[in-house]
Structure 1
Amino acid sequence: MGSSTRKKNEKKKDFQKTKLKVGKARAKPTNFTDTSFRSKSIVVNQQSLSETAPEAAVQFRHNLSLAASSRSDNQRRDALAYLTSQISGGMNDRNSGNGSGSTSHNPVGTVGVLSKLLPLISDPAAPVRTQLLKLFRALPPDEVRPMAAKILLYVRAGITNLSSAVRDDALSTLEWLLEVAGEDLVSSPGGWLKTLNGFGAMMGWVAPPPPGSAGAGGVGSGWSSAPKSSFAAIATKSGSSSGGRRLATGGQAYARQIAALAKFLEIGLRREQPSPYDPKVLWDSLYRPPAATATIAKTNPFGHLNIFGAPRDEDSEMYADREDRQRVFAKRWQPTITTGVEEARKEGGAVGRAAATLRDVLETGMSDYDSTTIS
């Protein structure tokens, strides 16, 4: 009897929960291995305080590489913020007369920074584009002007992007470029007609193709042309059925586009002010080597001749003076823009006011143009 009772009790133990006393640790298993340890310090690889920090130039290049090639949106934004703070500090030092501060804060130069970061104009992340525009505004304008033609390539790609947010930020970049390098922009190769074509694609103002081109609509062309709707018009139409907030957004974007076009045409069609005659300046320009600032301001003084470049068409041509820009504008874009201005004025509001400003710019810029004297 005793053995049978003992066996029953042993079987019951498997189905009974052991009661533990409060504060008493649970019994450790027989195969337990103690892995705890004590340390008086923590050493992280490559972050020891005993090592010297990398130089500012190394950090600048590292953040420039992160901003241009990192896959993380936050990392690109933070790298751009670091670059902006460094460049802004260099500009403040130079403005205060503390030497060439921009060189020490920007070891790669403005050309190196722009060459790496220009593709970010069409970046899909909005915080990255916003921080990029802050960095652009921190750059010295005299060093941006020689890069106006290259910047314009990425700006034109941005203002015709399918994303409305990318188009708006690219338009902000174009407004900044018109402020710091407007004259260099309109006189660069493709800077006049190709930019007008970009504005037309963005706003839905379609100009007829030039005579003799493959896209010119004729009797025997076999193709019919239909008006294209602009991105701004699409946003306005979609907003009219879903509430006033989206409608206002589309109208504001359209007004900004018209205002930017007015600024662009005002710079391109502006009357050139003749400089006063100075015989000393004349003889210095003929017989003395150009200064470093003059060389930077115009790195390719004979670029309009296109001696060694690829053959250019009418859109890619360099229109260096106002008369050439007036001639090609009157032939290609003036009727289309005039029609678009009249339609925009009928909308009223911010769009109507921007269209009225654009009409005044056209009247002032083309008032002295005579199409009969220039072929």
Structure 2
Amino acid sequence: MVSSRKKKERRKDFTKAKLKVGKIKPRSTSHTELGFRAKSVDIRTQSISKTFTARETFNHFLSLTAHSSSSTRKEAIQYLQSHLSSLDNIDASVFNSIAPLILDSSAQVRASLLSLFRSIPDEAIFPHVHMISIFIRSSLTHIDSSIRTDAAKFLNQFLRAKDQRIPMQLVTRSWTDLLDCYSCLFQWDVASSDKQLPLKSRPGLVLTSLDRMVDHLDSLCQFLTLGLSSRQETDSNILFHLDTVKHLPSTSSTSPFVRLGLNSIAASAVVEDLEVRYDILKPMLGSLSRMLCSGRKEGGEVGRLCKTLQEFLASFENAER
């Protein structure tokens, strides 16, 4: 026989609980508590005693240069600058990560990047100058005027490098492309009339203030001076006999070989010959001269730079004659 105690327990299962006002409703036997938090511990990869090498830490901050937060990107660049001495070799991965920041939307990030470039030795920058120049050319024609202004600062930094191989690589490998950028920036092609337009009245990528024009004119003056200077034609590491030049066909536009197309220059070709660089610049000289004449009337630093460049071009043309 079933004991009375067990009968009472069975009867409990079928008894409906009476709800009373002010009393907490009793929980069912199938109730699941959801007020807990799950925590996981990965013993294999997490350790408070693990030490990272200087290169691993450097690579971590190098990856943060692509972070979505501008403050994180700026702090990462500042860390890279302060720990450059811990690297045995500054390889291509560093420049592949920091070069796109030339186009960064944050002015503080670009300022930190410029400071970082100034602290990198020239011998480490030289193999990557052409890759960096691609981002500089893109920023020169950017829709944001502040990025265009900072682009001139980056360009001036490399044009005035102590290692002469760096500015010469910009001149020889980016001569045509940079001239196209300046033509778009100052609108040399549309200012084809004899009327001298003020600098602030030029169409296209308008430079909103004369202060911002100073950096662009300074970089243009330095670029043309380097590209049209005869001292750049001599190199201590000559790989051919000095008389070889006498037996090469002329690259002038009046050469009898010009119809064969042997001397045609592609847009991204390496232009090492001084005469070829001048021939590429010659169609722009008319608009460039008119721009410099109107710039001299502005006075100040802008007028001084325009006068300096105008006198240099005039002396070069007289020497060519």
Kindly indicate whether the alpha-carbon contact (under 8 Å) linking 2:233 and 2:274 is maintained by their aligned counterparts in 1: no
Aligned 1:134-173 pairs, distance under 5 A: 134-173=115-154
1:271 matched to which residue of 2? 230
From 79, 83, 89, give the equivalent of 2:80.
83
Confirm or deny that 1:123 pairs with 2:82: no
Structure 2 CA distance, aligned partners of 1:257 and 1:81? Answer: 27
With over 3 angstroms needed to count, the CA separation of the structure-2 counterparts of 1:313 and 1:324, relative to structure 1, is: closer
From 328, 331, 336, give the equivalent of 2:280.
328
Aligned 1:1-375 pairs, distance under 5 A: 51-67=49-65, 69-87=66-84, 89=85, 102-103=87-88, 106=89, 109-180=90-161, 181-188=166-173, 191-206=174-189, 229-233=203-207, 235=208, 250-272=209-231, 314-330=266-282, 332-370=283-321
With over 3 angstroms needed to count, the CA separation of the structure-2 counterparts of 1:274 and 1:339, relative to structure 1, is: closer
1:9 matched to which residue of 2? none
With over 3 angstroms needed to count, the CA separation of the structure-2 counterparts of 1:208 and 1:186, relative to structure 1, is: farther
Q: CA deviation at 1:111?
A: 2.3
Structure 2 CA distance, aligned partners of 1:363 and 1:151? Answer: 32
Structure 2 CA distance, aligned partners of 1:85 and 1:146? Answer: 22
Kindly indicate whether the alpha-carbon contact (under 8 Å) linking 2:186 and 2:202 is maintained by their aligned counterparts in 1: no
**Deviation sequence 1:58-114 (CA, Å, 0-9, x none):** 0111111111x2111111111111111112x35xxxxxxxxxxx51xx5xx242211
Structure 2 CA distance, aligned partners of 1:56 and 1:276? Answer: 39
**Deviation sequence 1:108-166 (CA, Å, 0-9, x none):** x2422111221111111111111111111111112222222211111011011111111
| TM-score under structure 1 length normalisation | 0.60
How large is the RMSD of aligned CA atoms in angstroms? 3.5
Q: CA deviation at 1:259?
A: 1.4
Percent identity for Structure 1 against Structure 2: 27
With over 3 angstroms needed to count, the CA separation of the structure-2 counterparts of 1:207 and 1:176, relative to structure 1, is: farther
Q: CA deviation at 1:254?
A: 1.2
Kindly indicate whether the alpha-carbon contact (under 8 Å) linking 1:119 and 1:154 is maintained by their aligned counterparts in 2: yes
**Deviation sequence 1:188-212 (CA, Å, 0-9, x none):** 1xx1111011112222332699xxx
With over 3 angstroms needed to count, the CA separation of the structure-2 counterparts of 1:208 and 1:253, relative to structure 1, is: closer
Gaps of 5+ in 2: 1-23, 27-34, 36-40, 193-200, 241-263
| TM-score under structure 2 length normalisation | 0.69
Gaps of 5+ in 1: 1-28, 36-42, 91-101, 210-226, 236-249, 287-311, 371-375
Structure 2 CA distance, aligned partners of 1:139 and 1:276? Answer: 25
* SS of corresponding position for 1:272: helix
**Deviation sequence 1:29-57 (CA, Å, 0-9, x none):** 9x9xxx9xxxxxxx9x98975x1321111
* SS of corresponding position for 2:148: helix
Q: CA deviation at 1:230?
A: 4.6
Kindly indicate whether the alpha-carbon contact (under 8 Å) linking 1:326 and 1:369 is maintained by their aligned counterparts in 2: no
Question: Structure 2 counterpart of 1:196, which letter?
Answer: L
Question: Structure 2 counterpart of 1:343, which letter?
Answer: S
